[in-house]
Amino acid sequence: MKSVRVIAAISVTVVVLVSAGAFVVSPNSSTQEAVDFEDTVSIGLTLEERQTIEAHGRLVPRVQVAYSQYPFVVGYRGIGQAAEAVDDPLVRQQFGYAQSVHVEVAPTDVDVDSDGYLHGEPTNEWIPADEAVFVTDTDARTPGVEATVAFESRTAAGTFAERHGGRLLEWDDRTAFEAREADGAVANDRVDAQHAEADERVATAFESLDRPESVVVGEDAETIQDAVETADPNSTIRLPPGVYEESVTIDRPVSIRGENATVVGDGNGSVVTVTASDVAIEGVSISGVGEVSRPDDVTPEGWDGHTEAAYGHADAGITIADSDRVLVTDVEIDTPTSGIAIRDSNGTVVDDVVVRGADTWEDGFMGVVTVRSRIVVQQSTFVDGRDGVYTLRSHGAVIRDNRFDGGRFGTHLMYTSDALIDGNCIHGQTAAGIVIMTSPSRTVIRENVLVDASQGILTSGSDSYIGGNVVVASQHGISTNARNSLYSDNVLVGNEVGFVAASVVPTSRVVNNDVIDNDEHVLIRSGPLRVWSHDGEGNYWSGAADLKREFTPTGPVDGILHRTTAATTLAASPAARSLRQLRTETPGMRSESVVDASPRATPANDSRVEFGSELRDEYDRNGAVECPTESHHQ
């Protein structure tokens, strides 16, 4: 009896102590230690920028942040980037507050290289941000912004500031650190200017067609090649109707204008090769293209050399190399490999071109492939082959008002930032309509129509705008992988899956989209809970129009509201209500769901919804659908 009492007394004491202790002990006492940067969920800089930095031994100071309500440590390339993130209300809502911030100490020999970039080896040595001394307003740069550098001591910081200028600041002064001003809205703001600039480039290229005629093939010269060699510079060579069996190299600034002219190569190499600037080619059909997609004689150079060798040197209807302001217009190309290959040729314009590739994509190659070239591809049609347009490091590419039928990908961007993909109709791809790879920045994908395009729009990178697209009858509509981006005014109708969410760091805004009659509105692959609404602005979801409450398209009950009315009954149950309750309080720690706190009662984009629904109906009736002929621009 006595031992029972002793046990009871001990138990009571323990319960009382634990209970009281819980309020006395701070749960905050354990601080997150810094981890290896490689182990963080890292963001900032495009893959191209990272490759370049590494190749030149440049330095971008790094920060890592553990958030109170997010399971992964987030790594930032760029101190300004991190400073902006920890105070961003959207980040706070998704991840909670910054529980611990560590900055990487600059190496002792940190310097500035001849191009003005910060130079040195990353130390991977981390100290708490509030113990670090920062130097900002220096003459050193990192990609996109002026560098802010972190040091362990005032002495080290002072030494750097003496040599390179700048002020010494602390973490609390972080609003003074420069960060790239960028997000999806910023990207969208430049669209008009980018179109205007493209219009100018097109106009410049078209000036070549006004040149006086100096040679007529068949009259003044036997072959096109002879004509090129005899023509005055800056003159026009005319091709009367007929078939010209030859391969041509154009190494002078001339314009070739045909009329029902067909140039047939001998099945080896490219049919037309341009090696001079200001060349124009108009009104010809091209066939007899070689079948080599990866020639052996190309030696890869630089970090992108292998990609270039693999894709940029295939036999093509027209190859343009190291030549600026070349115009290709009103041209038809039948090719087993590439249609037009463009390398290191800025200002090149591809207009009103038809490229017909191999029937099966495995046998074919790229309609237009561009390497390190600022190009405009417009009002052209790409049928079959592998990818309609493939770009490699072709920043600022404008791809507008084209039509892509079949093939593997419609448009495929590699290491290409600032691209504008606008007003295209893309349909019938086996893998995806628009594919963005290698984490570029500031891509704009707008006003495109994608039908039966398998994966629809696959994004990557950051600070992009994906807006006003209509995706119909595809397996997946739009992936939201691009971070810090704006996805708005898109219409997703009758797809197997509307949105795919897979980004581990969901810092994008997804609002004002109309998500209608998809088998599944949202498929979530990984990452935490995302809030897809902002300031009372959400999306329209069929099945959730009358909810007047937060909506979880990934939830077991909400997710089928558009498929069965019975789900409405269950959704109103106290159990379902209490499960919904307060879910958004700690979103970062919860896995794999999407919440729209303010679902719309009516579609946000009426005319687009009507258009999308018509396409869907047509597709359902015929199992196929044509791209609309009207274009958005010009």
Partner 1 sequence: MIDRTALRAVALREIRTVLRTRAYLLLAIGLAVVLFGIVDRSDAVAAGYVPSTVDLLLPMELLVPLVAVAIGYRAFTGDNDDSSVLSTYPISTPTLVTGVFVGRLVGLAAILALPLVAVLVSVAWTPTVGSTVFATTDGVDSPILFVRFIVLTVFFGAVVLAMTLAVSVLTQSSKAALALGIGVFVAVVAGGDLLLIGGLATGSIDDGMLRWAIGVSPNSAYRGLVYELVIGVATAEQGYADVGTSVIGLGLWSLLGLLVTALGIKSKRRAAIAPSIKRHVR
Residues within the interface to partner 1 (CB under 8 A): 18-19, 21-23, 25, 27-28, 30, 32, 35-36, 39-41, 66-73, 96-97, 99, 504, 528, 575, 578-579, 581-583, 585-586, 588-593
Write down the least CB distance from residue 172 to partner 1, Å. 16
- The dihedral built from the CA positions of residue 138, 90, 594 and 616, taken in this order, carries a sign that is negative
69 vs 488, beta carbon nearer partner 1:
69
Burial of 337 per CB tally in 10 Å (0-12, 13-18, 19+): buried
Write down the least CB distance from residue 387 to partner 1, Å. 29
d(CA 539, CA 290): 50
Write down the least CB distance from residue 10 to partner 1, Å. 16
Write down the least CB distance from residue 32 to partner 1, Å. 5
30 vs 114, beta carbon nearer partner 1:
30
73 vs 627, beta carbon nearer partner 1:
73
Apex 274 CA angle, 271 and 277, nearest 5: 165
Distances in whole angstroms, Cα of residue 484 to Cα of each of 205, 455, 553: 36, 21, 21
Residue listed under structure tokens 């191999």: 358
Write down the least CB distance from residue 65 to partner 1, Å. 10
Measure the CA dihedral 534/536/539/541, to 10°. 140
d(CA 89, CA 591): 20
| Cβ(499)–Cβ(515) below 8 Å | yes
41 vs 310, beta carbon nearer partner 1:
41
Write down the least CB distance from residue 593 to partner 1, Å. 8
Write down the least CB distance from residue 531 to partner 1, Å. 14
Write down the least CB distance from residue 47 to partner 1, Å. 17
Write down the least CB distance from residue 557 to partner 1, Å. 10
CB atoms within 10 A of CB 235: 15
212 vs 574, beta carbon nearer partner 1:
574
72 vs 303, beta carbon nearer partner 1:
72
115 vs 172, beta carbon nearer partner 1:
172
- Please report, as a single letter, which amino acid is at residue 215: V
Write down the least CB distance from residue 39 to partner 1, Å. 4
18 vs 193, beta carbon nearer partner 1:
18
Q: Where are the beta strands (DSSP E) in 288-402?
A: 316-321, 327-334, 338-343, 348-356, 368-371, 375-378, 381-383, 387-392, 398-400
Write down the least CB distance from residue 508 to partner 1, Å. 19
Residue 488, phi then psi, degrees to nearest 5: -140, 155
d(CA 389, CA 355): 10
CB-hemisphere CA count at 13 Å for 90? 19
- Which residues touch 63 (CB under 8 Å, ≥6 apart)? 75, 76, 78, 79, 81, 82, 83, 101, 102, 103, 104, 129
Alpha helices in 231-286 (DSSP H): none
Burial of 384 per CB tally in 10 Å (0-12, 13-18, 19+): buried
590 vs 632, beta carbon nearer partner 1:
590
Residue listed under structure tokens 């942040």: 65
347 vs 588, beta carbon nearer partner 1:
588
Distances in whole angstroms, Cα of residue 169 to Cα of each of 88, 109, 395: 20, 20, 35
DSSP three-state, residue 323? coil
Write down the least CB distance from residue 556 to partner 1, Å. 8
d(CA 494, CA 542): 11
Write down the least CB distance from residue 44 to partner 1, Å. 16
d(CA 244, CA 228): 14
193 vs 575, beta carbon nearer partner 1:
575
578 vs 602, beta carbon nearer partner 1:
578
360 vs 586, beta carbon nearer partner 1:
586
Burial of 114 per CB tally in 10 Å (0-12, 13-18, 19+): exposed
Write down the least CB distance from residue 9 to partner 1, Å. 12
97 vs 302, beta carbon nearer partner 1:
97
Q: Where are the beta strands (DSSP E) in 138-198?
A: 141-142, 145-146, 149-151, 167-169
Q: In DSSP terms, which residues pair with 516 in a beta bridge?
A: 493
